[in-house]
């Protein structure tokens, strides 16, 4: 059931994508470093590592956090 | 092949100027050989400005009540080789000390346990949650990745990772492909990661749901231990969409699937065995002349597979130079641990070159189907059981503030201070007799302090 809902969300999102977006000359703000989704990679890596060690679930954003025998 | 390329890249750090082109070519060749494709006509353009972008940081993580402390040094470096070809290197060293909850319950009397090595004993005062104080570790981690265009609108990436602790080792590889659409306003991505971990606990692997025995000297093997090590394999798949929503807004949505198999038990966690009516710990007397546990404690047992599915969404929105970041993650798995994570950051620039960034994060999870506060002393025992609070009902809150300042050279100093508070709860259905209304969970507060310097070479 969850999978179907997720699939529906993705399909609807993709459908709408064609009409979304900006022209190449409208990317001034989007090109800024603080608008990059992968900005602050180190903060993210630390957080993933801490929460991986202390909570029951991990991942989702990327592959970060694993590879640790944290107890 | 990729190993050689990474080694070449590491050597290149000291002698970048004239080796850049060679390294780029070596990495391109390595990636192509990994991908099984012919080396594309990679341009060795001399006009590509060589550039390292390095984030480095020191991190202190400290839990209340002298529990876990971690000092960590990390660097994340990316090297631009031009033509959108980049090398990423991550290096991290952690030093962990402190005490970690063993899973045993607090009782009215002093409790004695045999340490994980099986050679010594330690005691917990009456009324306190038992903590295993032999928690001490140093961890090294190294990751390398290479990313480059594969064809127009396609980008490919591949990476290798390695980490080592005295009782744990990890090796992993990952591979990713992205495709831009819609004037690069939409990016679809698919990525795959595979990791193999080796667990080599001190004293050997405890046999699941067997009893902790008396301490023994070096000439003897500790009771109820099996092999010296075991492995676990983890396969992760990630499918993502990144969508520009407007001049000020970008959204990313990921679907993730993770399959872990092998040794997923925590070899250092135990469960208290209690009277099925009163819920009080069953006492035990060590053998004459020996020292050992004063109660009956069993080593935990987890299933040997776990499948997780997740949805992650993240949005960044600019309004007049301020950037709001909101993220949400839903995760569900066949251990019945379902979780919701909501997170937000707001970057507030001030002056000409500084910013403040408040951060808040809320996390909530349900207990694993085999989570137990303790085990009733009745036969038969369940096949799987763990008293690890990380698998119980839980919520957690993080508040933080980051400050950053860009200096005249364009490099950034930053510091962040965060407070993390975790509160676990044992579901009522796993409580026995007197435990109802009297549970003590190993809740804790932690402080995270990070000092970082982000510079370019």
Encoded tokens for B349? 């620039």
Q: CB–CB of B394/A55 below 8 Å?
A: yes
Q: Considering the entire predicted model, what is its pTM?
A: 0.87
Helix axes B2-12, B16-35, angle to 10 degrees: 170
Verify whether the Cβ–Cβ distance A56 to B255 is below 8 Å.
Answer: no
User: What is the structure's pLDDT at B219?
Assistant: 86
Q: What is the pLDDT of residues B356-371, one digit of tens each?
A: 999 999 999 999 999 9
3-state secondary structure of B105: coil
Give dist(CA B452, CA B59) in Å, integer.
Answer: 9
User: What is the structure's pLDDT at B346?
Assistant: 97
Task: Write down the domain spans for chain B.
Answer: 1-47, 52-59+104-129+148-456
B75, B165, B365 ranked by CB distance to A55: nearest: B365
Q: What is the mean pLDDT of residues B62-86?
A: 94
User: What is the structure's pLDDT at B65?
Assistant: 87
Residues 141-160 of B with CB under 8 A from A: 141
User: What is the Cα B253 distance to its own chain's centre?
Assistant: 21
Contacts of B99 in chain A (CB under 8 A): none
Verify whether the Cβ–Cβ distance A30 to B247 is below 8 Å.
Answer: yes
Mean pLDDT over each residue of chain B, to the nearest integer: 90
Give dist(CA A27, CA B142) in Å, integer.
Answer: 34
Q: What is the pLDDT of residues A12-60, one digit of tens each?
A: 555 555 678 899 999 999 999 999 998 888 999 999 999 999 999 988 8
3-state secondary structure of A64: coil
Give dist(CA B213, CA B291) in Å, integer.
Answer: 9
DSSP B203: T
User: What is the structure's pLDDT at B270?
Assistant: 97
Write phi, then psi, for A2 (nearest 5 degrees).
Answer: -55, -45
Cα dist. B18→A40, B15, B26, B52, B68 in Å?
Answer: 30, 7, 14, 15, 46
Find, in chain B, the residue whose alpha carbon is nearest to that of A46.
Answer: B59
User: What is the structure's pLDDT at B137?
Assistant: 86
pLDDT at B415 over 80: yes
Contacts of A37 in chain B (CB under 8 A): 242, 250, 252, 314, 316
Exposed e or buried b per residue across B268-290, where buried means at least 16 C-beta atoms within 10 angstroms of its C-beta: bbbbbbbbeeebbbbebebeeee
How sure is the predictor about B36, in pLDDT bands with cuts at 50, 70 and 90?
A: very low
Q: What is the mean pLDDT of residues B16-45?
A: 45
For chains A and B, CB pairs below 8 A equal 175
pLDDT at B159 over 90: yes
Verify whether the Cβ–Cβ distance B59 to A56 is below 8 Å.
Answer: no
Phi-psi region of B203 (alpha: psi -120 to 50; beta: other; left: phi over 0): left
A30, A56, A62 ranked by CB distance to B391: nearest: A56
User: What is the structure's pLDDT at B145?
Assistant: 96
User: What is the structure's pLDDT at A7?
Assistant: 61
Domain spanning B52-59+104-129+148-456, CATH class: mainly beta
pLDDT at B26 over 70: no
Element (H, E) at A7: helix A2-17
A3, A34, A37 ranked by CB distance to B242: nearest: A37
Give dist(CA B85, CA B217) in Å, integer.
Answer: 57
Residue A56 to chain B, least CA–CA distance (Å): 5
Cα dist. B337→B279, B310, B331, B332 in Å?
Answer: 25, 12, 8, 6
Contacts of A26 in chain B (CB under 8 A): 247
Contacts of A56 in chain B (CB under 8 A): 337, 339, 365, 368, 390-391, 394
pLDDT at B442 over 70: yes
Decide if B225 touches A, using CB distance below 8 A.
Answer: no
pLDDT at B47 over 70: no
How sure is the predictor about B308, in pLDDT bands with cuts at 50, 70 and 90?
A: very high
pLDDT at B331 over 90: yes
What pairs with residue A27 in β-bridges? Answer: none
Residue B396 to chain A, least CA–CA distance (Å): 9
pLDDT at B44 over 60: no
Q: What is the pLDDT of residues B379-407, one digit of tens each?
A: 899 999 999 999 999 999 999 999 999 99
Stated length of chain B: 457
Q: What is the mean pLDDT of residues A58-69?
A: 73
What pairs with residue B67 in β-bridges? Answer: B99
Lowest mean pLDDT among A57-66, B62-71, B330-339: A57-66
User: What is the structure's pLDDT at B19?
Assistant: 45
pLDDT at B42 over 50: no
User: What is the Cα A54 distance to its own chain's centre?
Assistant: 21
DSSP B15: T
Give dist(CA B237, CA B180) in Å, integer.
Answer: 19
Q: What is the mean pLDDT of residues B100-124?
A: 95
User: What is the structure's pLDDT at B225?
Assistant: 94
User: What is the structure's pLDDT at B329?
Assistant: 97
pLDDT at B152 over 60: yes
Q: DSSP states of A18-59 as a string? A: TT----GGG-TTTTSGGG-TT-SHHHHHHHHHHHHHHSS---
Q: What is the pLDDT of residues B244-260, one digit of tens each?
A: 999 999 999 999 999 99
Encoded tokens for B438? 């009297």
Q: What is the mean pLDDT of residues B60-82?
A: 94
B99 closest CA partner among B122, B121, B132: B132
Verify whether the Cβ–Cβ distance B450 to A43 is below 8 Å.
Answer: yes
Higher pLDDT among residues B358 and B151, named by residue: B358
pLDDT at A68 over 90: no
Cα dist. A20→A8, A23, A50, B183, B418 in Å?
Answer: 18, 10, 36, 10, 36
Higher pLDDT among residues B37 and B254, named by residue: B254
Choose from B245, B266, B336, B371 for mutation: most chain A CBs within 10 A: B245
Classify the C-alpha dihedral B217-B219-B223-B224 as positive or negative: positive
Please state, as a whole number, how many other Cβ atoms lie within 10 Å of the Cβ of residue B237. Answer: 15
Q: CB–CB of B457/B427 below 8 Å?
A: no
Contacts of B331 in chain A (CB under 8 A): 57, 59-60
Give dist(CA B284, CA B413) in Å, integer.
Answer: 57
Residue B288 to chain A, least CA–CA distance (Å): 33
Cα end-to-end distance, chain A, whole Å: 34
Decide if B229 touches A, using CB distance below 8 A.
Answer: no
């Amino acid at each position: 059931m969850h999978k179907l809902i997720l699939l529906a969300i993705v399909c609807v999102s993709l459908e709408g994508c064609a009409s979304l977006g900006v022209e190449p000359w409208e990317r001034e703000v989007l090109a800024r470093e603080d608008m990059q989704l992968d900005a602050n990679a180190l903060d993210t890596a630390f957080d993933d590592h801490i929460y991986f060690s202390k909570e029951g679930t991990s991942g989702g954003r990327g592959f970060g956090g694993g590879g640790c025998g944290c107890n | 092949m990729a190993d050689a390329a990474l080694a070449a890249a590491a050597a290149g750090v000291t002698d970048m100027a004239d080796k850049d082109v060679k390294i780029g070519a070596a990495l391109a060749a390595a990636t192509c050989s990994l991908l099984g494709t012919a080396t594309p006509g990679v341009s060795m353009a001399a006009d590509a400005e060589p550039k390292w972008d390095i984030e480095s940081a020191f991190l202190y993580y400290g839990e209340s009540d002298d529990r876990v402390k971690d000092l960590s040094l990390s660097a994340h470096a990316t090297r631009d080789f031009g033509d959108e070809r980049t090398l990423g290197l991550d290096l991290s060293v952690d030093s962990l000390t402190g005490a970690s909850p063993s899973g045993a319950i607090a009782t009215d009397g002093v409790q004695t346990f045999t340490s994980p090595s099986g050679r010594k004993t330690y005691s917990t005062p009456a009324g306190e949650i038992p903590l295993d104080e032999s928690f001490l570790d140093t961890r090294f981690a190294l990751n390398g990745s290479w990313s480059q265009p594969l064809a127009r609108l396609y980008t490919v990436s591949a990476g290798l990772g390695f980490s080592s602790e005295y009782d744990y080792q990890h090796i992993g590889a990952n591979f990713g492909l992205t495709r831009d659409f819609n004037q690069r306003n939409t990016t679809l991505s698919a990525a795959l990661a595979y990791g193999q971990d080796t667990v080599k606990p001190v004293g050997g692997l405890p046999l699941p749901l067997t009893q902790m025995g008396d301490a023994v000297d070096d000439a003897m093997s500790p009771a109820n231990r099996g092999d010296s090590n075991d492995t676990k394999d983890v396969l992760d798949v990630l499918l993502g969409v990144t969508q520009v929503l407007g001049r000020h807004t970008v959204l990313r949505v990921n679907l993730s699937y993770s399959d872990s198999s092998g040794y997923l038990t925590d070899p250092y966690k135990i469960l208290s065995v209690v009277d099925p009516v009163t819920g009080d710990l069953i006492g035990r007397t060590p053998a004459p002349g020996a020292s050992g546990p004063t109660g009956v404690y069993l080593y935990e047992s987890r299933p040997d597979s776990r499948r997780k599915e997740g949805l992650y969404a993240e949005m960044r929105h600019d309004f007049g130079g301020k950037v709001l970041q909101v993220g949400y993650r839903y995760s569900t798995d066949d251990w019945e641990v379902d979780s919701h994570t909501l997170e937000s950051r707001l970057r507030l620039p001030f002056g000409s070159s500084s910013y403040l960034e408040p951060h808040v994060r809320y996390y909530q999870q349900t207990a694993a189907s085999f989570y137990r506060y303790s085990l009733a002393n009745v036969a038969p025992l369940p096949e799987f059981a763990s008293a690890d609070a990380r698998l119980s009902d839980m919520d957690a809150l993080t508040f933080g503030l980051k400050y950053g300042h860009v200096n005249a050279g364009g490099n950034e100093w930053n510091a962040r201070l965060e407070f993390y508070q975790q509160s676990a709860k044992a579901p009522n259905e796993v409580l026995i007799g007197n435990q109802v209304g009297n549970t003590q969970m190993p809740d804790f507060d932690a402080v995270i302090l990070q000092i970082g310097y982000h510079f370019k070479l």
